[in-house]
Amino acid sequence: MHEKTDRSRVKGFLQARGTSIVNGDGEEIILTGWGLGNWLLCEGYMWLSHNTRFDRPRRIEAVIEEVAGKPYAEQFWKRFRDNYVTREDIRLMAEQGYNSVRIPFGWRVLMEDEPGIRWKEDGFALIDRCLDWCEEFGLYAFLDLHGAPGGQTGANIDDSVDDFPRLFTDEDSWNKGIELWRELARRYRDRWIVGGYDLLNEPVRPGLMEGKHEDYLVRRLVKFYEEAIAAIREIDDRHLLSVEGHHWATNTAVFYKRYDPNMVIHFHRYACKPGKEVYDEYLALSKALDQPLWLGETGENELEWFAAMYPLAVSLGIGYNLWPWKKMGRANSPYTVNKPEGWDEFLAYTEGGARPSYDRTKQILDEYLNNIKVENCTAHPEVTASVFRTPGCRVRGTDFDEFPGKGVSFSGLRTEGNIYKYRDKTGMKFVPISDEPQTKAFVFDSGWMNLALELTEGEFAVYSFRGIEAGNSVTLELVCREAATVTVRQDGAEKTVTSLSPGSDLCRVSATLAPADASSIEVRVDGGRIELHSVALG
């Protein structure tokens, strides 16, 4: 399966063929990659801001001009675009094993925000340059209209003026949106490195029409897709199209028909337990329409969640694109932008604090512009290790292999399900690690990390890993509830047999592994009872 994710398959125009995506040679490819969030459409949380005064491009731009002056602000944005994504970012993404990148952009990067249609050539030049790097290093690039004219979401993420998706209600915004896709098709119709056109990111958020039905906005969304696709196909009949549903790209209502033979059904998943059930609705839809799936935005979670969610997606033939490649804040992106000295002082102004002096602000922002270069960021190799399940990753005990299935990947001897609706048809028992109320650790915390896998006599679970080298080992973290014997096997070969005494403390069982490009690790219990918390590859 993993040969389908290899960058050697990045060649020629991507096409939808049944429920698969194929390259120019007709080989199936499963997309793996990251989104370049914050580069061409800024989001406040990636600057560590959590207030509405500094949450979207137009407001961030206004604040920087206020505190640093217009001349500085103008050159700040040129330096920001030049530094935030460079050739080195794309090289590193390819080096780490990914095969694609999503380029989110706001319409004001490419068009003047004034009456009529006027293009910004410096904005297109940024995309052109990035595409050249993608071609050099072998990454398909998806053009993602993350912020359409007027806004398509009605939130900070689309740079809307008043948190309403005016793309669907204002004639000027609508016309600009259609013309923008026509122009993108004209400019990029011959560039095969462009993997596809992502027509609208996360259109029509929930809660827009309090007390009213929002069906008319969804109807307008469908109409926009129809007109945008028609405009593109007048010029470009080769590129793959990406269509998203409403409500954060999770609602499937718009997929009542095929919009184009060469398209993917694009969906997003964040705050969910990472089991097959989160994919089932989309798999059924893919089968019904005979069109491929793309998990085009996901992430912002614990690394163990990554280690469950994305290998499972690949086993189901679903490509994915994580969000985002770099940011300030949590270490769950490959790179963290280091906070400049005085950054809290700068952000305090956006929350009602005193305004720093012009010179002080420039000093803070100059350091920020240097820090955003990837070579100056803090790298987190454990993130990619988790995505690909290579050394440095940790898998929850509950996230054993789904395939080939019962009797091979897991014992499946139980008849009951579970109250968590998590993998409850596998015949395996999940138990809570703690019976105490659990506080959500972050906004997308689904509570799944409070679950452990119970194994008793004759039960087993298998965990797949990649890239095992000499000296690597696997370590189980578990609680032994009744005296047990635990056996660890690698591809059928016994690696360790450990007898455990009962207790309430977390204990560890380790086994040295043989080198292997890909390997299956079986954990089996012969007598007794354990609660398996995690399986780590180090």
Q: Quick one: average pLDDT of 338-350?
A: 97
The answer to whether the CB of 100 falls within 8 A of the CB of 131 is no
What does the alpha-carbon distance between residue 173 and residue 179 come to, in Å, rounded to a whole number? 10
pLDDT at 295: 99
- pLDDT score of 211 more than 90: no
What does the alpha-carbon distance between residue 378 and residue 329 come to, in Å, rounded to a whole number? 11
The answer to whether the CB of 165 falls within 8 A of the CB of 188 is no
pLDDT tens string 138-164: 999 999 999 999 999 999 999 999 999
What does the alpha-carbon distance between residue 282 and residue 293 come to, in Å, rounded to a whole number? 7
Binning pLDDT at 50, 70 and 90, where does residue 91 land? very high
DSSP letters spanning 107-122:
HHHHB-SSSS--B-HH
- pLDDT score of 438 more than 90: no
pLDDT at 65: 97
Q: No. of H helices and E strands in the chain? A: 13, 23
Q: Quick one: average pLDDT of 54-73?
A: 98
**Which helix (H) or strand (E) segment is 359 a member of?**
helix 358-371
What does the alpha-carbon distance between residue 20 and residue 5 come to, in Å, rounded to a whole number? 13
Measured between alpha carbons, how far is residue 148 from residues 68, 77, 84, 195, 479 in Å?
A: 28, 20, 22, 20, 52
DSSP reduced 3-state for 435: coil
CATH number of 390-537: 2.60.120.260
> In the numeric block, which tokens belong to residue 308?
């469950």
pLDDT at 247: 96
pLDDT tens string 240-260: 999 999 999 999 999 999 999
Query: Any idea of the CA torsion for 390, 391, 396, 400, to the nearest 10 degrees?
Result: 50
pLDDT at 334: 99
Q: What percent of the chain has pLDDT over 90?
A: 95
pLDDT at 36: 99
Q: Who's near 398: CB < 8 A, 6+ residues apart?
A: 308, 422, 423, 428, 430, 448, 451, 452, 453
pLDDT at 435: 82
pLDDT tens string 376-432: 999 999 999 999 999 999 999 999 999 999 999 999 999 999 999 999 999 999 999
pLDDT at 178: 99
Sign of the dihedral defined by the CA atoms of residues 149, 155, 156, 160, in that order: positive
> In the numeric block, which tokens belong to residue 25?
């040679």
Q: Quick one: average pLDDT of 277-306?
A: 98
pLDDT at 432: 96
pLDDT at 492: 98
Q: Of the candidates 328, 340, 342, 332, which has an alpha carbon nearest to the alpha carbon of residue 302? A: 332
Write down the domain spans for the chain. Answer: 2-39+85-337+372-386, 390-537
pLDDT at 441: 78
> In the numeric block, which tokens belong to residue 159?
């740079």
- pLDDT score of 333 more than 90: yes
Q: pTM of the prediction? A: 0.97
pLDDT at 100: 99
Q: Who's near 326: CB < 8 A, 6+ residues apart?
A: 38, 84, 89, 333, 334, 335, 336, 337, 372, 374, 377
CATH number of 2-39+85-337+372-386: 3.20.20.80
What does the alpha-carbon distance between residue 506 and residue 182 come to, in Å, rounded to a whole number? 59
Binning pLDDT at 50, 70 and 90, where does residue 316 land? very high
The residue with tokens 């694009």 is 266
Q: 89 — alpha (psi -120 to 50), left (phi > 0) or beta?
A: alpha
pLDDT at 212: 74
Q: Which of 13-22, 184-193, 441-450 has the lowest mean pLDDT?
A: 441-450
pLDDT tens string 261-275: 999 999 999 999 999
The answer to whether the CB of 65 falls within 8 A of the CB of 73 is yes
